[in-house]
Amino acid sequence: MSADKANRLDLDPDYNAELADMVAAMNVAANRLTPSNGYRTTPHRLSLSDRKLSLQERSSYQNGITPRIARRPTIESKRVSISDGDDCVQLNQYKLKSQIGKGSYGVVKLAYNEDDDQYYAMKLVSKKKLMKQYGFPRRRPSRESNGSQENLLKHSGLLDRVYQEIAILKKLDHLNVVNLVEVLDDPAEDNLHMVFELVPKGPVMEIPTDSPLTEEMARFYFRDVILGIEYLHYQKIIHRDIKPSNLLLGDDGHIKIADFGVSNVFEGNDALLSDSAGTPAFMAPETLTDQDHRFSGKALDIWAMGVTLFCFIFGRCPFHDEYILGLHEKIRTAPVEFPDMPVISDGLKDLIIRMLDKVPETRITLPEIKLHPWVMLDGTDLLPLEEEHCTVVEVTEEEVQNSVKLVPSLSAVILVKSMLRKRSFSNPFEYPSRRQGRSMSAPGLTV
Ligand SMILES: Nc1ncnc2c1ncn2[C@@H]1O[C@H](COP(=O)(O)OP(=O)(O)OP(=O)(O)O)[C@@H](O)[C@H]1O
């Protein structure tokens, strides 16, 4: 600490007040880092009106997204003990209850975990059944393409698809993406069990429906989808099956993206794909041509988000036809037509049209969507920056506690504040060269 700063601390009441504010702000930040429910704070959208917030703080608070500690890794259990109880089947610590959903791979059941007294959603998949279905994929088969993960998956069976889905889910950790808690996969058993956090309200909407969402609700949910997809793209994953039935609604009123059964993992800035996958009415036009060409993966998710937003508002898809070839033709060539009712704002129309741009190169991008006036309510309701919600703080509880104990001295205040800003609990004033094992005479140290 410089002598100048030390003198100001003793003599200047304004500076002391500023310091008190800093410590208070640090305590707020430290509390946010301390997990209340394991690893994340409860989302809330109420504004913190009592003090002025910076733009970034405000956007983070309003979306309930704060620096958070990484979630517990997915548990993998290779031994499964199955017993028949009085009223239900028990798998290890889980008591299986009623069926809550059905997908094309298997059923989803409510499961009570005796260890932590919580309910989960358990997906049961028959490995034998999936292996038998090899060659008869549930979704459209891929067209020829060169090597890579895309090609590998194309030639693998449905069971490999499930293992790929598990591999993807294991690395995901975001408020708007469903969380895979445990995988029970005993080689001696036919069933593979995927235990998810329970997203109690199920799909955000069924389509078609005569009671779609209001524009306000659609915006609220769509903003969650934006953040979820931004996170997936940041993690180099193209979802490829965004649609209302894969958007589950939590008790907190927020959307969680589910179903990674046809997702692609990519390297670099974007996936270059050539196959068609997903749900026909949500497929982008560039995937439906006979020409052998490659297209951007991110732009496919944007198209599907556009179809989804249309569904939110009108309760049905923008392109529909009795026959699959007719549907493809409409997706490729027909303009988007908005029904007369409900009447929607020009801003929403503009966004849908730009997402459903048939030309992937000119289609609106995710960063542009985040800045669209309809999404951010003409600049009054900003979304958090990518780095604000896509990264997690990899620290232990002990490190958090220790950092808070450092508060009393001004140098510690500056130190911890800097740590919180950098979301790192290593000493930011330590010579970078020391950590890297190089010379101590690195330039640029200013404290
Ligand atoms: N974590 C969860 N919490 C609550 N319900 C869930 C959860 N996961 C799935 N479900 C319910 O189970 C249904 C089937 O989910 P699942 O992921 O097995 O199917 P799917 O793969 O999306 O189906 P499809 O293959 O037909 O698209 C969902 O539509 C939902 O209603």
**Hey, what domains does the chain have and what are their CATH numbers?**
206-398 (1.10.510.10)
Ligand 1 surroundings by CB, under 6 angstroms = 100-105, 108, 121, 123, 178, 196, 198-199, 202-203, 245-246, 248, 258-259, 261
320 alpha carbon – ligand 1 mean position (Å): 24
Q: Which residues are catalytic?
A: 241
Most confident of 3-7, 134-138, 262-266: 262-266
Q: How far is CA 268 from CA 122, 271, 272, in A?
A: 34, 8, 10
Of 370, 211, 402, nearest in space to 302 by CA: 370
For residue 244, is pLDDT > 60? yes
Integer-rounded Cα Rg, in Å, for the chain is: 25
Residue with tokens 């140098």: 411
Q: Are 298 and 271 in contact (CB under 8 A)?
A: yes
121 alpha carbon – ligand 1 mean position (Å): 9
Mutate which of 108, 180, 252 for ligand 1 pocket (most atoms within 8 A of beta carbon): 108
Pairing mode, strands 255-257 and 247-249: antiparallel
Most confident of 94-103, 136-145, 416-425: 94-103
CA atoms within 13 A on the CB side of 345: 13
Q: Please give the structure tokens belonging to residue 85.
A: 């109880």
pLDDT at 426: 52
pTM for this predicted structure: 0.74
Which tens digit of pLDDT belongs to each residue from 309-363? 999 999 999 999 999 999 999 999 999 999 999 999 999 999 999 999 999 999 9
Comparing 439 with 204, which gets the higher pLDDT? 204
CA 353 distance to own-chain centroid: 24
Of 39, 62, 41, 42, nearest in space to 223 by CA: 62
pLDDT at 146: 39
Which atom of ligand 1 is closest in space to residue 123's alpha carbon?
18
For residue 238, is pLDDT > 60? yes
Comparing 395 with 174, which gets the higher pLDDT? 174
For residue 48, is pLDDT > 80? no
β-pair partners for 83:
90
Percentage of residues of the chain with pLDDT beyond 90: 60
Q: Please give the structure tokens belonging to residue 427.
A: 């000493």
Mean pLDDT is lowest, of 86-95, 120-129, 150-159, 315-324, for 150-159
Q: In the structure, what pLDDT confidence band is assigned to residue 418 with cuts at 50, 70 and 90?
A: low
Q: Measured on CA atoms in the order 257, 260, 264, 265, is the torsion positive or negative? A: positive
Residue type (1 letter), 124:
L
pLDDT mean across residues, the chain: 78
Which tens digit of pLDDT belongs to each residue from 355-411? 999 999 999 999 999 999 999 999 999 999 999 999 876 656 665 555 444 434 455
For residue 307, is pLDDT > 70? yes
pLDDT at 395: 59
Residue with tokens 């309701």: 381
Which atom of ligand 1 is closest in space to residue 256's alpha carbon?
1
With b meaning 16 or more CB within 10 Å and e meaning fewer, what string describes 254-279? bbbbbbbbbbbbbeeeebbbbbbbbb
Comparing 425 with 50, which gets the higher pLDDT? 425
pLDDT at 103: 84
In terms of phi and psi (left: phi > 0; alpha: psi -120 to 50; beta: otherwise), the region of 80 is beta
For residue 17, is pLDDT > 80? no
